[in-house]
Each structure stands twice: as structure tokens, then as C-alpha cells.
Amino acid sequence: MRRGTKALVVIFVVSLAAVAAAYAGTTSPKGSASAERAAVMEAHRGGTMKLIAKTAGGTLDPQVNYTLQYWNLYMGTYDGLLAFTKAGGNASFIVVPDIAEKMPTISNGGKTWTFKIRKGVKFSNGKEVTTQDVVASLQRIFKVKSPTSGGFYAGIIGADACLKKAATCTLKGGVSSNPSARTVTINLKAPDPEFKYKLAVPHASIVPADSPAKDAGTKPVPGTGAYYFSSYNPNKQLVMKRNPYFKEWSHAAQPDGYPDQITMTFGLTAEAQVTAVENGQYDWMFDFPPSDRLSEIGTKYTDQVKLNLLTAFWYLPMNTNIPPFNNLKARQAVNYAIDRNAAIKIFGGPKLATPSCQVLPPGFPGHKDYCPYTKRPGAKWSAPDLAKAKKLVQESGTAGQAVSVYSADDEVQKDMAVYVQSVLNQIGYKAKVKPISGNIFFTYVQNTKHKVQINVQQWYQDYPAASDFLYILFGCETFHPGSDSSINIAGFCDKKINDQMKKALKLGNTNPKAADALWTKVDRMVTDASPMATLFTPRHLDFVSKRVGNFTFSKQYYWIIDQSWVQ
Amino acid sequence: MGEALAGGLSAPPEPETAGASPWALAWRRFRRNKVGVAMLIVLVLIVLSSLVAPLYANHVAHTEPFRSNIDGTTIVNGKVVPVMQDSSTGLGLGVTPIGPTWDPHHYLLGADNQGRDVAARLLYGGRNSLLIGLAAAILTCTLGTIIGLAAGFFGGTVDGVLSRLLDVVWAFPVFLLAICLSTVLATSSYSIGPVRIESGSLVLPIVIIGIVYVPYVGRSVRGEVLSLREREFVEAAIGMGSSSWRLLRSDIFPNVVTTVIVLFPIMIALAIVTEAALSFLSIGVQPPDASWGTIILDGQSLLYTRPTVALAPGIAIVLTVLALNVLGDAVRDALDPRAKHKAAR
């Protein structure tokens, strides 16, 4: 072939390729999106995302830690068999296959879940994920006494023995594997439509089979995510670097991240954190900005403030087993008396929360607006009804009784308790405030031995199911007298309501729509029985530096840190 | 009365003092100390203004200083305005309490984060802070004097036991000890025989603060007693067959009482500062009761927007403690003029 002809051929081939590429671009949105993302990735990949928090979040072990602070970071460092989609808005509630190749095959009437393990996924130590790692990770949930081992995973066959003797946990009959077929099978005692969510939270992360059979503490456990923890000093800093063995296998489950490195530094007060982010020394603050800086950041730094409604609620659990709140009228009186607007003002103002009377938050499966405890009962809260509250207290015969309002000792919660105390005094009680150190507050108020009458509490969803609010917080089975782990803080147990909850849970296996309708009914029944006074649905406020781009808020895990860029 | 006052003066008596009692002489000397008198006046004003707190709250400000008033309103320049004001700029984040209006009828010093009148709470807080300071200082001085007298006078095993006891308390940093005791005791109720101390009672901070400062007084008194025991008038009284009780009551105690009197205002000042610190750490006076320490704590979250909330009680503490310290010096100079000469040399 002559030189001239060769050049013509080259031009022809290149032109053909260009036309083909253009054609592909117009006809395949997936390809276009991927090309677009590659271009964006090329433009913004790199740099260090600098985060700041007042204190460290405790152990770094993904199967033990139960804090939002680190669950936020686990999104980019660990994977489960399944994962919540790393996307903004309601899409983040969708569960997708992660370490599993596809969604499980469910058989045996919903009791047997079979997963095929993806090929080629590697831990940050270079080893490939095997079925043995998956089985060991599920056993490790019990060996490390994960805080949800007795809740989320107690339905696996063999879990009872593991809960009794953690060290020798095998989940015999519950979890098995077939290495040649690359499958793992999980057998449940009963069908559980929410099990997919439970497998997608960090406690079910897949870690190497040789990981320590105890809480790893400050020593990072290798993961499969786009990043790995390279160092952790709880008094100083946590550093995340790119996992050198990571190759994106599912953009929805574990997308590649933009920054090369993510650091979380500890030690600055919330006040100093605001100033540091304003000055661009840090890119994001973990702690909630102090109330006296809210106006400033909401005025001068509007582009850097991100507000998102949460699937959560602030509430006052009332102990239904001891006076005065073992009396329905006394509990209802508190509900009528609380001025939700005042509570919202303490929290930071009407832009940061919405008044509420019920358990399920807006936008949640089963939620339908309902508020019987207001001046004009109906769908929404309008104003407190002090006269009615005082009348109910008199009718209940509990007037003049002493009530202690417990709260964690941080600024907002203590102020909330002082406000509640003031309201209780107004309607006829002799109330006191008892602030407790935030480190022990949550377990302290759960234990019936401490006879906590009423306290300031919040609940943020673990996964998007109505049961995570109604059954977990007000189910008979979640009330454990004398235990520090009795999340039904009100000690509420109404057999009729509990039966309805169980019916709704079962219905979720076959008819999710009917289940949601039943949860709506249960929400109303619980609200009427008044084991708590709901205050409001909070919004989440993120304050980021000027250079942070592509802020994406997942309703499940909040800000997806590694999907934002800093350059 | 005491040799330290009467017999101890080496300077020739002033003509106008002839025939006057030692206390009258001390009062005359005190009145000549203009700074001391000025500080006494400041202190009296602070005490008086705290005492009239209910009058101010009920008849001037017409406010409930212990009740949240988050959705309340007040009048500024003839207009009705909310006490807690929502931000109206930018994203509308945050709620700011009303600032000082300088109108005694309507939030003179502004509101705190519960919408309560800071001026009224400052006065009520002063009552608690001064009461705790005074009561704790009385407890400290009483216990310190008894222990110091017993240890110094009886010596031997009694001295050994009591002195080691004081050493143990002394060995702990005062604030650490107070914080530990408060953390354990402040949030629970206690029954001692028929007496029940409720959590949040002012008795607890009084007792805790009173106890942690006992070594300050006890060791000073013990040292004074050890020195007095060697003096001729004590030996003479022993020689005349005075009983131990009589010796303590008539010869030793009158001579150490001046030391205790000089220490007393300083102990009040220390107790007020300690109470403020404990309340600031949420382990002193419990909400909704107020003390200067709790108001500073309330103001901590408002330092950027409403610094008056923290500044006002801070200034009250500084003024009170300064007045008490200067007063302590003036009392010492009045009771023991030699100390001033010694200090001058």
C-alpha cells in the first residue's frame, strides 16, 4: 500500500470512528452519561477533602461503630452484599447489589436468600473477596457484639446461639457457602422483607476473614471501597486514601470518588469549626453550628449552606409505667401543652424544622399528616392548647406531682429540657431538669432502673421502613426492663397495637402497599396512645467551604463526601 | 480581749484613741481607708440590689425570670416585638433573643435563649451566688477554726490525725475535688436521717464548696495556735491552773479570731468564684434556678450575638470578688496595722 493511500485510509478510519462515537453518543444515554462523568472526573479528580469535628466518633470498626459521624465515612470505604444507592434524594433509599453480583434469589417462602459473589473485588490489602470472607463477616457481627446483632440479625438461623456464645459463633444452619459456585446462602427463621436493608448497613460490611474477632478499635480493618483508612488517631486525625486495588464495579453501589484523600481532624469546638470553614481552612464541619452563628452563616454564606429535610423526629418519650405518665390523660396533657414553634425556635428556627405530632416523618412509607394535639385538631399542628392541658392534668389526678426532665447536656437539648420543665410547671407539675453527660445519656434513659419519667430524645432512621420507627420505638418486644439496651424508652406495650404492627410486618412480605396503609393506622394509634410527645421533624444543615462542588445529599447516609470535589 | 490587738501594738497610742475599745479603733482605722470604704459601699449595693430582685421582677419588669418565654413579646420604642426574633435575612436561619433595650420595664439587659429577662435573672442569680458564697464561707471558717484550734492546741495524735486529714483535702486541686463531689452529689436526692436534701438544693453546693476550702482556714489557725501556745500569757494562764477549755475559750480563740475575720471575705470571694465555675459546668445551681455562673453558661451560646448575657454576670462576679478582696485587705489593716507596716517595709 502506497504512503498516500495509507494516509487516506487512516483519515477514513478516524472519521468513521468519530461518526460512530457521535452516533453512539446520541443513541446511548448510558454511554453519554459515562463519558460525561469521565470528563467531570478528569476535571475534578484530586486534592484533599478536609473535614473537621469536635471529637472522634469512637471505634473505627464498621461492624461495631453506630455513629452517623463514621457511617458517613463508611459509604466510601466498605461494602456489604447489598448497598443503598449512592445518590441524592429518595433514590438513596433504593437497595442495589454491591459485593453480590445481583439481588438475591429468595426462596423457601422468603426464608432463604442466595447471593452470588462478584468476581475481582479486592480489599485494600490486595486480597480478593471470597465467599469465606462473606460468611466470616456475617459471623463477625456476633463475635464483635455489634450493637444491632440482637436486633437486625437475630432472625438468622443460629443467631440465638451466637448471641449467647459470641466467641464460638458459626451461624450453623443460618449461613453457608459454595466457593466453587461463588454463592452464599442465608437462612432466616421467618420471612423478613426488611432484611435487604439490614444487609446494606455498615454493620453487615464484608471484611477479610482474618479480621480480629473483637472490636478492632483504632486499628483500621481493610475494606473494599474506593478509599481505605490509612491512619486513625482519635485525639488528632483520621485519614482516608484511595484504595489502590479499587476498580469501580457498580456506580450505584460504590462509585469512584473525586478527592485523592479525605481527612477528618478532631479538636475544634463547633464555634471554631464555623470560623475555620468560613476561612476555607476546612471543607465541612461535622458538628451542628452553634445557634448564635446560624444567622451569620445563613446571611453571609448562603451558597455554602445546604439544608435537607431528614427522615427523623425529635420527641419526648414518657415513661408509661410510672407516675405521672402511666396515666393517658397526663401524657395527652403534655402533648397539648407543648408549643412546637417554641421547640423549633430553640432548635434554630422555622427553616430548620417542621412541627409534628406523630411518629412517622413526612416522606416516609406510611406517613399521612395527623395531629390531634393542637388547638384545631386535624392534619397539621397549629398552636398549643394550655387550657385543655391543664384540664387534663386535673382530671388525671396527677397535678402537683414531681417530674424530672432528663436531657443530654449539650446546649440545644438542655435548652429544650428547660423549656419542657417550664411547660410542665405551667400545667401543674413540679418539674426539674436533669442534664446528663451526652456520653451516657442514651443508655441511661433506656434503663428502667433509673426511673426516667420524661426525656428529650431524637430518632434518625436506620433504614427506610415504618417499622424502624413504630415497632422499634414502641413495640412490646423492644422493651427490656432493667437493660441499658431497651430502645422502647417509653416502656410502651399495647397488645392491640403490637398485633397490628406484627400484622403490618408480615404484610410487607406480600403486599407492601397494604402494609403501608396499615402502618398509617398504627402511626395514628400510637399517636393517640401518646407514649411520647413529638416535637418536630428536623432538617439537616451542612456548612461547606467555597471550594466544595457537586454536593449530593443521600437521605439514607446524608452527605456523600467522596462524590463532592475540591478542585 | 486579745493580746494581738491590744498588747501587740508597738507604736505609741494615738491621742484620740485613748480609752477606745480595740474594735472601735479598728473601725476608725477602716474608715480612714477610702478604697476599703468604697468597696464596702459597692458590696452593700450589690447585696441590696440582689435582695430586691422580686420587687424588680414583679413590679418593674413584670416578668417571670424562671419561666420560658420563647413565644413572648415585649415593647421597644412603642412597638410590640417578639422576644425571640427569627432571622429575616438570607436563608432565615437562627433565632436571636432580644438585646438590651436599656428600658428597665422591658428587657433592660435583653433576653437569654429561653426568652427570659436577663436583668431579673441577674438579680435573682446574685441572691444565690451571694448566699452560697456567704454560707460556704461561714461553714469553711467554722470548720477550719474548730479543726485548727484542736490540732494546734492538743498536738500529738489529735494534731497528727487532723493535720493529715487537712493534707489529704489540700492535696486535691480545689476545683477537681469540687467538680468530683458535685458530679456525684448534685443530680440526686439524699436523705440523712430525717433530713432530705433534694437534688438541685442550694445546700449541696454550699456544703461542697464549704468543705473543699477548710484546709485554707484550718492550717492558718493551727499555725497561729502553735505560735500562741508558746506565748507568756498562755504559759501564765497554764501556771495559774486554767483548764484546757478555759484556755481555748479565753486566751487562744480571741487571738485567732482576727485571722479568721481577715480570711472570711476572701473565703466568700473564693466560694463565689467556685460556685460560678461549678454552675458554669452544670454541676452547681441547677436550672431553672439562676446564679451568676448559670447565667454565664446561658450566655456562652450567645457570645457572638448577645454578649451582654454573659458579660453582665461576669462583671457582677468581678466587682463582688474585687470588693471582697480589697475589703479583706482593709479589714486586715484595720485589725492589725503592723501587717501594713510590714508589707510596706
Closest to A457 (Cα-Cα) out of A287, A313, A290, A310: A313
Which strands make up the sheet holding A183-187, listed edge to edge?
A: A105-107, A112-116, A183-187, A175-178
φ, ψ of residue A188 in degrees (nearest 5): -105, 155
SS3 B196: strand
Q: What percent of chain B has pLDDT over 70?
A: 91
**What's the pLDDT tens digit per position in A164-217?**
999 999 999 999 999 999 999 999 999 998 999 999 999 999 999 999 999 999
Work out the average pLDDT over B23-42.
92
Contacts of A271 in chain B (CB under 8 A): 303-304
Q: What sign for the dihedral angle of Cα A190, A195, A199, A202?
A: negative
3-state secondary structure of B109: coil
Give the three cell numbers for residue A257. 470518588
CA closest to B301 among chain A residues:
A292
Residue with the three cell numbers 508597738: B10
Question: SS3 of A76, please?
Answer: coil
Mean pLDDT confidence for A488-517: 94
Report the alpha-carbon distance of residue A567 to residue A547 in Å, rounded: 7
Closest chain A residue to the Cα of B71, Cα to Cα: A342
Round to whole Å and give the CA distance between A184 and A186: 7
Q: Tell if the CB–CB gap between B93 and A342 is shorter than 8 Å.
A: no
Residue A440 has phi, psi (to 5 degrees) of -115, -10
- To 5 degrees, how large is the angle CA A136–CA A141–CA A143? 80
Query: Would the CB atoms of B87 and A349 count as touching at under 8 Å?
Result: yes
Mean pLDDT, residues A353-358 taken together: 96
Mapping DSSP to helix (H, G, I), strand (E, B) and coil, where does residue A536 land?
Answer: strand
Compute the nearest-CA separation of A447 from chain B (Å).
16
Report whether A467 contacts A501 (CB < 8 A). yes
The three-point CA angle B129-B279-A445 to 5° equals 140
Please state the separation of Cα A176 from the chain's center in Å. Answer: 29
State whether residue B75 is helix, strand or coil: strand
Taking the C-alpha atoms of residue B133 and residue B140, their distance in angstroms, rounded to an integer, is 10
Q: What is the 3-state secondary structure (H, E, C) of A110-167?
A: HCEEEEEECCCCECCCCCECCHHHHHHHHHHHHHCCCCCCCCCCCCECCHHHHHHCHH
Partner A contacted by B85 (CB < 8 A) = no
Q: Which CATH superfamily is domain B37-55+117-344 in?
A: MetI-like (1.10.3720.10)
Q: Three-state SS across B141-153? A: HHHHHHHHHHHHH
Q: What is the pLDDT of residues A433-446, one digit of tens each?
A: 888 887 788 889 99
Cα separation, A115 vs B316, in Å, equals 70
pLDDT band at A22; cut points 50, 70, 90: very low
- For residue B302, list chain A residues with Cβ-Cβ distance below 8 A: 291-292
What is the pLDDT at residue A5?
A: 43
Contact (Cβ atoms closer than 8 angstroms) between residue A296 and residue B86: no
pLDDT at A19 over 50: no
B322, three cell numbers: 474585687
3-state class (DSSP) for residue A329 = helix
A362 phi, psi to nearest 5 deg = -60, 145
For residue B241, give the amino acid letter.
G
Q: How many Cα neighbours within 13 Å face the side chain of A521?
A: 15
Using a CB–CB cutoff of 8 Å, tell me whether B86 touches chain A. Answer: yes
pLDDT tens, residue by residue, B93-116: 999 999 999 999 999 999 999 999
Give the pLDDT score at A3.
Answer: 41
Chain A residues with CB under 8 Å of B70 CB are 339, 342, 345-346, 419
The nearest CA of chain A is from the CA of B175 a distance in Å of: 19
Q: What pLDDT is recorded for position A291?
A: 86
Alpha carbons B153 and B238: distance in angstroms, whole number:
12
Question: What are the chain A neighbours of B305 within 8 Å (beta carbons)?
Answer: 292, 295
Query: How close is the nearest chain B Cα to the Cα of A339, in Å?
Result: 9
Whole-model pTM over 0.90: no
Print burial letters for A268-307: b (CB count within 10 Å at least 16), e (below 16): bebbebbebbbeeebbbbbbbbbbbbbbbbbbebeebbbe
Radius of gyration of chain A (CA): 26
* Residue A548 or residue A508, greater confidence: A548
Cα–Cα distance measured from residue B89 to residue B86, given in angstroms and rounded to the nearest whole number: 9
Residue A70's CB: how many other CB atoms inside 10 A? 22
| 3 state DSSP class of A211 | coil
Residue A161, CB-side half-sphere exposure with 13 Å CA sphere: 10
Query: How, if at all, do strands A95-97 and A82-84 pair?
Result: antiparallel
* CA torsion, ordered B302, B303, B308, B311, to nearest 10 deg: 130
Q: pLDDT per residue over A41-90, tens digit each?
A: 999 999 999 999 998 989 999 999 988 899 999 999 999 999 999 999 88
Quick: pLDDT tens for B154-203.
999 999 999 999 999 888 888 888 888 777 776 666 777 777 777 678 88
* A-to-B residue pairs, Cβ atoms closer than 8 angstroms: 116
Alpha helices in A220-327 (DSSP H): 270-278, 291-300
Whether A457 and A315 have beta carbons less than 8 Å apart is answered as yes
Is the Cβ of A103 closer than 8 Å to some Cβ of chain B?
A: no
Rounded CA Rg of chain B? 25
> Are B122 and B61 within 8 A, CB to CB?
no
Greater pLDDT, B240 or B198:
B240
Strands A553-554 and A558-559: antiparallel
Chain A residues within 8 A of B91 when measuring between CB atoms = 298-299, 302, 305, 307, 351
Q: Is the dihedral of CA A44, A46, A52, A53 positive or negative?
A: positive
The answer to whether B111 and B119 have CB atoms below 8 angstroms apart is no
Using the Cβ of A409 and the Cβ atoms of chain B, whether some distance falls under 8 Å is answered with yes
pLDDT, mean of residues B229-242: 88
Residue appearing with cell numbers 507604736: B11
Confidence at residue A78, expressed as pLDDT on a 0 to 100 scale: 98
Q: In degrees rounded to 5, what are phi and psi of residue B213?
A: -100, 0
Query: Which one has a higher pLDDT value, A23 or B64?
Result: B64
> CA–CA separation, A99 vs A117, rounded Å?
6
User: Tens digits of per-residue pLDDT, B132-156?
Assistant: 999 999 999 999 999 999 999 999 9
| Helix segments in B281-307, DSSP class H | 292-300
Tell which residue, B279, B269, B271, has the closest CA to residue B182.
B279
Q: Which residues of chain A make contact with B94, given a CB cutoff of 8 A?
A: 291-296, 298, 348-349
Nearest to A418 among B86, B95, B287 (CB): B287
Query: b/e for A242-258, b at 16 or more Cβ within 10 A?
Result: bbebbeebbebbbbbbb
In percent, the amount of chain A with pLDDT more than 90 equals 82
Chain B touched by A450 (CB under 8 Å): no
**Which residues, in sequence order, are CB contacts of B176 under 8 Å at separation 6+?**
none
* CA–CA min distance B309, chain A (Å): 12
Q: What is the pLDDT of residue A440?
A: 85
Which pLDDT value is given to residue B18?
64
Residue B288 preceded by cis peptide, ω within 30: yes
Neighbours of A164 (CB within 10 A): 10
Average pLDDT value over all residues in chain A: 92
Nearest residue on chain A to B297, judged by CA atoms? A411
A348 to chain B: which residues are within 8 Å by CB?
93-95
Q: Provide mean pLDDT across the span A409-428.
A: 93
Place of cell 447536656: A409
pLDDT band at B17 (very low <50, low <70, confident <90, very high): low
- Chain B residue with Cα closest to A300: B90
> Could you give phi then psi for residue B252, rounded to 5 degrees?
-80, -55
Q: Look-up: residue for cell 458538628?
A: A287
Residue with cell string 422502647: A488
C-alpha torsion A470→A471→A477→A481, nearest 10: -30
Cβ of A352 and B93 within 8 Å?
A: yes
Interchain contact A465–B (C-beta under 8 A)? no
Question: Minimal Cα–Cα distance from B117 to chain A, Å?
Answer: 15
C-beta atoms surrounding A372 within 10 Å: 16
pLDDT of residue A437: 80
CA distance A218 to A410: 26
